[in-house]
Structure formats: structure tokens, C-alpha cells
Amino acid sequence: MSRILVIDDEAAISWSLRELLEDDGHEVALAADIPAAVDVAGRFHPRVILLDVRLGSRDGIAALPEIRAACGDVPVVVMTAFGDLDTAVRAVEAGAFDYLVKPFDLERVSEVVARGLSDGQPRTEPAGVSSEPPDRATLIGSSPPMQEVFKQVALVAASDLPVLISGPPGTGKDLVARAIHAHSARSQRPLVVTNLAALAPGVIERELFGHTADSFAGAIVERAGLFELAIGGTIFLDQIEEAPPDVQVKLLRVLENGEVTRVGEATARQVDVRVIAATNHDVSELLATGNIREDLLERLAVFPIRMPSLAERLDDIEPLARHAASRRSDRQAPAGPRPAMADDFLATLRERPWSGNVREFKHAVEYAAVVSRGGTLRAEHLPQPSPQPAPAGGSGLAAAAGRVAAAVKEWSAAARHEFAELPEPDLHHRAVQLLEGTLLREALAHTGGNRTAAAKLLGLDRATLRTKLKTLGIDD
């Protein structure tokens, strides 16, 4: 049995957490405000603390030093109903062990508490995280997948580790890079951004590393490359797999030794630059493309971050829409009211398959804001849906549906022989189980084992999905 202290001024949440944690075999104490928390912490000596951010007029994160003074440096799990990047960064700066967004999955709470209890490392406050808030136009969302992104940004920002951001086009990988830079100790130095796919292969080397005069036809003057322009700051290399093989060798040298060599020059130059790269491929599949060296990928993916597709974060549709519409309104009439959104407008946004993810979604909302001419945004104001490309290879939900159909077809062909052999055939029940089991596995694979996202994808509530998985004997 371990002692857990829950600090929350909402009685219903405190009661639920106590019931959950006592069922897990822990001893639980409750406190509804900071003075009570300090008093209980000093007497109870908890092994893990669950701390709400908003406690009446007090800020839970700001009060952490008072609480720790009473009970020592124990793991603290911050809880909030207002999950955003700022809160995640503040929690990490304060040395929080983890970060949960309300309403949270109780299984997730049990898992986080168990990790806190097994973690013997003292909590230390990371140094060098900028307190300057990020651009509000960067990362929007309160869904579990985005909360995971916020947490990873907050954790890695204070370090100088290379970061590899993966995810489908249009998910905001560049915004993650900007957020990491904005919250880092390098935030006052340059952030240099380039997309390697936008450069001709023959010019990538000299764009990144610079060149001397007369090093190639047309090189009249000496020129510094992007790495030298980013000294002291960060360079973001989007679509890193587009780098030619010889450039990849030079990138590896930068990551290992902090050295660049201009085209036409023999002497290496030292550069102090943090490298963030991005790719539209899954990291696990990137090597299979044959476009990137394994050693380079290993050095870039020291800290990988995966951006979810819009289909994986449907809870963020409304805040994303309101943000996009507000930004359009600000440009047209800064002092004007924010546009209202009709129910059919939001429903259509949720139902459309946004193959272009947040980028396509934002453009559609901005289009609607212009067409509505300042009035309520309605479904009729949205542009026509983009034609959906045919599924390629084995990726995407359409391909997953094809695999489900193929599995059922293969089984039903074999099952036809069983009608004559079974005295009381249960083929209908077995076919339904096969179809449902295959579909659930595909949904879990598509969401990386995230049950909440899989349930939304399937149109089920999480409890129903959990029951079905248990009945069918399916493990994540």
C-alpha cells in the first residue's frame, strides 16, 4: 500500500479518484485547498501527489514549493481542465512528474500513479526554458493526442537534443518546431526554417552549408549557409528525407561534431545550432523508403514527436474552427465581433474527411468566414470537399476497410463447406465476431493503440470498446 495525496477543490473528482486509487490498493488523503494540502502533506507523507491547477483563487503549480517543503520532493501529477502548451510548459518547469487533462481516463490515472511510485529519481527543475508564451497561432487543441504533443514539447524544449517530428502533411509539424524553439533557451536567437523538398537537389548543399566565391558557375561572392545563419539558435529541416546522400553525410557531421564545411572550402567551421527535422513518413517506415541513412535517422530521432492526423483529434474541431475564424476576422476587422457558428457548420466540419489535415481544415474555415460576410458561419459557406485520393499500399482507413473485407471474404469461402458438416452451425455469430475483431484491431493499429481515439473513430464510447475488446480477447 502507498500513500497518495489528492489536492482538488471539486468534491466529485476527489471522491472518484479516491475510489479508484483505494481499489488499486493505495491509502488516499484529500485536500481541497493549499493550506489544507500543506498540513496533510506534512502529516501524511505521500508517495505521489495529484494536484489540480486551479484551486479557488490559488494556482496549484505556483504553490508546489509550499507543498514540497512539507513533504519532500515526491512525484507530482498536475491535473487541469484547461490543457494547453503554456500549462504543460509550466508543469515541466515546476518539475511535475506528469500531466493529466480533465476529464481523464481513470485507467490512465492508475497507470501514471503506478509510474510515479516506481520512479525513484528526484524531481529537478529543468533550466533554460523560456517563460515567454508561444504564439497563440501555433498549437491548438485539448484532445489526448495533442496533450501528449504539448507534454513532449515541454519536456524537450529545455534540452539541446535533436528532434524528429513525424506526421501526415498539414498536421502542423512546423508549428511544433516553432513551439520548441520559443520555449527553449535559444528563443532569443534565430529560428531558420527550410523545406528541403522546395529546393533543387543540386542546391541543397550550398543552401545549408554555404559556399565560397567561384566554387561553382555563377558563384560571384562568398555566402554563408543556413546553418551559419542559425548559430546560437535552431534550424528546422522539413522533409528531411529529401536530402541527397552526400548532404546526409554532412548533416551527420553537424550532429556529431557541430561542424560545417562550405562548398569549395577545405576548412570546417564550428556551429552551435540545435537541429529539428520533420518527415511526412512514420519514423518506423522511413528507413523502408531507402531515402535516408540509418545512422542519420538514429541521430535525428533522439527525441521523436509524432503529430496526430485531424481524424485522431476530433475533439479539437470546434476550437480549431473558432481560432481560424477569429484570425480571419482579426485581419478583416480587428475590433469586430467574433463570427458565430451554426450547428450544421460544426457538424459538417466533424464529418468531412480532411485528407489535408489542419492546413486544409483552416483554409476551409477561412473561406467560409469570407463567404459569410461577417454573418453566422453555416455549412453552405464551406467550399466543396476536396476529391479523396485512392488509397495507396496498405495505409489509411480505406485500406484498412479493404483488409477487413478481404479477411471476411477469405473466411466465408472456407465457411461454405461447414454448412453441411456442422449439425448446428453458428456461422453468423462467428462471422460477426471475425468482422468486428478485425475492424477493432485495424482501428487500434490506426490510432497506435489509443483506445479513446479508436472509440471515436468507430463511433463507440470507450466503455463499449473496452467490453468488446475483452469479449473478443483482443490486446492493444
Domain ranges of the chain: 3-118, 154-306, 310-381, 396-472
413-472 pLDDT, tens digit each: 555 554 445 455 566 666 677 778 888 888 887 776 777 777 778 878 777 787 788 878
Distances (CA, A) of 69 to 3, 39, 101, 269: 17, 11, 26, 48
Q: How confident is the model at residue 369 (pLDDT cuts 50, 70, 90)?
A: confident
Q: What is the pLDDT of residues 58-93, one digit of tens each?
A: 888 888 888 888 888 888 998 887 667 777 778 877
Mean pLDDT confidence for 121-140: 40
CATH entry, 154-306, from 3.40.710.10, 3.40.190.10, 3.40.640.10, 3.40.50.300: 3.40.50.300
- How many other C-beta atoms are found inside a 10 Å radius of the C-beta of residue 119? 14
Q: What is the pLDDT of residues 6-35, one digit of tens each?
A: 999 888 888 889 888 888 888 899 999 989
- Using a pLDDT cut of 70, give the percent of the chain over it: 81
pLDDT the model gives residue 165? 95
Hey, what's the cell of 415? 465457411
| pLDDT at residue 203, rounded to an integer | 84
Among 3.40.50.720, 3.40.50.1240, 1.10.10.60, 3.10.20.30, name the CATH number for the domain at 396-472.
Answer: 1.10.10.60
381 has a pLDDT exceeding 70 = yes
pLDDT at residue 335, as a whole number = 46
DSSP for 1-54?
Answer: --EEEEE-S-HHHHHHHHHHHHHTT-EEEEESSHHHHHHHHHHH--SEEEEESE
pLDDT tens-place string over residues 131-171: 333 343 468 888 889 989 998 999 999 899 999 999 999 99
Q: How far is CA 435 from CA 117, 402, 409, in A?
A: 40, 12, 10
Q: What is the C-alpha separation between 196 and 209, in angstroms, rounded? A: 13
The verdict on domain 3-118 having CATH code 3.40.190.170 is no
Q: Does domain 310-381 have CATH number 1.10.8.60?
A: yes
